[in-house]
Amino acid sequence: MSNARIKHAPMKVALLCLLLLAPTLQSSPPASALAKSLRRYPYLTDLVKRHVTVNWATTTSVRNGHVRYGRVSNHCRGRTATGHERLISVGRLTERQWRASLSRLAPGARYCYRVYGDGADLLGNRRSPRFFAQLSARSRKPYTFAVLGDWGAVSSSGTNPDQAAVLQQLARSDARFVVMTGDTAYPDGTQRNYGDLVQHGNDTSTVFGPTFWPRVGDSIPSFVPVGNHGLNEALLVNWPERSAVRSSKGRYRMERYCCVNGTSPHQYPSVWYAFGAGRARIYVLDAAWPNGNLGHGDMYQNDHDAHWRITSDEYRWLRHDLQTHPRRVSFAFFHFPLYSDNASESSDPWLNGPRRLEGLLGRYGVDIVFNGHAHIFERNARSASGMPASYVTGGGGGRLASVSGCGPLDRYAIGWSYHSMNGSSCGAAPTPTSPEEVYHFLLVRVDGATVTINPTDENGNTFDVLTYHL
């Protein structure tokens, strides 16, 4: 969805100041990092099996990087992982983007780490970040993960207190990892949009700015699907998922797309893979197409014809993985929504229905689908016997939108209009009285075949909590 400028009330600006100044928030970036060589605070990706990747960025003066890590009970000691770097341009600066693979993790154990550049501890006097290793396929231990969609946006002054508040609530949660629903870093997903710890301003540092992902990503690993915004190489560079892609024989690379429905040939990222979390299997899928380069089709049709014909690579890969991987529960994440009550980012008729992607997921027992694109919250019932339930969760930080024309599958939906300054709702939902009630993320608790989904707004209030017995 196109992201207009974010508007904030004075009380939101005050909240942002409190978040910036609060000295007790362990997930905030250190002041020393802002002044010296660290440019992106460490963040985690690719939490798969016995592996996780640590990512960070520095000035070009740093020539060598590594990570020291170990169990929390062993004071983060015992192992070292070498950092690998590449030069990237972030706004007006050239920086080194680093990644280091931490391996041989004990399933479910708690670890901590420290990041070094040219022998210096880049975290200064900050506490070592902590995370949980992924649970094994045999584990019966309950766990929680988060879902976050359509975020990475700032006003012309470089602020977004609503987004900062959502991410602060996520940082305080017990989520072991987060899976997004696409459209991360507005408006174009460039490295300037992603930004860093030191640059700010219009469309700059919408993700890696000090009050955003640095509060979350050092301890909660992430998985990031593509959206219609940001279909470029920056997504692949910033969110490496090599273990997930390799272990599931998925795809994670730039490819030439030509020439769907008269579109011009162009390079776009192809992103699809799967991974296990305990006894669950999670599918991260590519269901997106850019706003431009439409030819004589539209975004939804072009996405379908590029990715979801029965002869397409992604369709065949997904069908094979569904056929060959037993699982207790399963979830799918992709950008374009199966069902949406937003007028401009509406239901995708090329994905929903028994003969489309929805039908494929339903036939092989995928339980719940999570989508973004529409900047609302919406829960939909199963569309037919055996079809997945679905959620639209696009309230992570982009400019909110209204719900309208409530559909027959809609059980609970909320949105907000900045034009009329009114909330909107469908199904059993009360009408929101402020945008603070609509900005949100989801907490998903998995306990065997019992799954509880807790939508949580930016003030920490839950709504539409529902438990599925699958």
Q: Are residue 149 and residue 59 in the same domain, yes or no?
A: no
Q: How many CB atoms are located within 10 Å of the residue 132 CB?
A: 22
For residue 14, being part of any structural domain is answered with: no
For residue 360, being part of any structural domain is answered with: yes
Q: Are residue 120 and residue 254 in the same domain, yes or no?
A: no
For residue 26, being part of any structural domain is answered with: no
Percent of the chain residues past pLDDT 70, beyond the cut: 93
User: What is the pLDDT confidence band of residue 385, given thresholds at 50, 70 and 90?
Assistant: confident
pTM: predicted TM-score of the whole model, two decimal places: 0.92
Q: Are residue 52 and residue 194 in the same domain, yes or no?
A: no
pLDDT at residue number 338: 98
For residue 351, being part of any structural domain is answered with: yes
* pLDDT, tens digit (0-9, with 9 covering 90-100), for 250-298: 999 999 999 999 999 999 999 999 999 999 999 999 999 999 999 999 9
Q: Are residue 85 and residue 166 in the same domain, yes or no?
A: no
Last residue of a domain, one of 132, 167, 196: 132
Of 19 and 194, the one with more pLDDT: 194
pLDDT at residue number 3: 46
Q: State the average pLDDT over residues 18-42.
A: 57
Q: HEC profile for 108-120?
A: CCEEEEEEEECCE
Q: Are residue 240 and residue 199 in the same domain, yes or no?
A: yes
Q: Are residue 348 and residue 319 in the same domain, yes or no?
A: yes
Q: Are residue 161 and residue 120 in the same domain, yes or no?
A: no
Query: What DSSP line would sit under 338-405, residue for residue?
Result: SS-B-SSSB--TTT-STTSHHHHHHHTT--EEEE-SSSSEEEE--SSTTPPEEEEE--SSSPP----S
Domain count for the chain: 2
Last residue of a domain, one of 132, 153, 183: 132
Q: Are residue 49 and residue 173 in the same domain, yes or no?
A: no
Domain coverage including residue 162: 143-469
Q: Which CATH number is 215's domain given?
A: 3.60.21.10
Q: Are residue 92 and residue 178 in the same domain, yes or no?
A: no
Q: Are residue 209 and residue 182 in the same domain, yes or no?
A: yes
For residue 9, being part of any structural domain is answered with: no
For residue 27, being part of any structural domain is answered with: no
For residue 450, being part of any structural domain is answered with: yes
Q: Are residue 253 and residue 398 in the same domain, yes or no?
A: yes
pLDDT at 322 over 90: yes
* pLDDT, tens digit (0-9, with 9 covering 90-100), for 137-163: 999 999 999 999 999 999 999 999 999
423, 437 Cβ separation under 8 angstroms: yes
Bridge-based pairing of strands 368-371 and 280-284 is: unpaired
pLDDT at residue number 344: 94
Of 13 and 245, the one with more pLDDT: 245
Last residue of a domain, one of 132, 160, 183: 132
Q: State the average pLDDT over residues 343-347.
A: 96
Q: Are residue 438 and residue 297 in the same domain, yes or no?
A: yes
Q: Which CATH number is 122's domain given?
A: 2.60.40.380
pLDDT at residue number 364: 96
pLDDT at 29 over 80: no
Q: State the average pLDDT over residues 401-421.
A: 95
For residue 16, being part of any structural domain is answered with: no
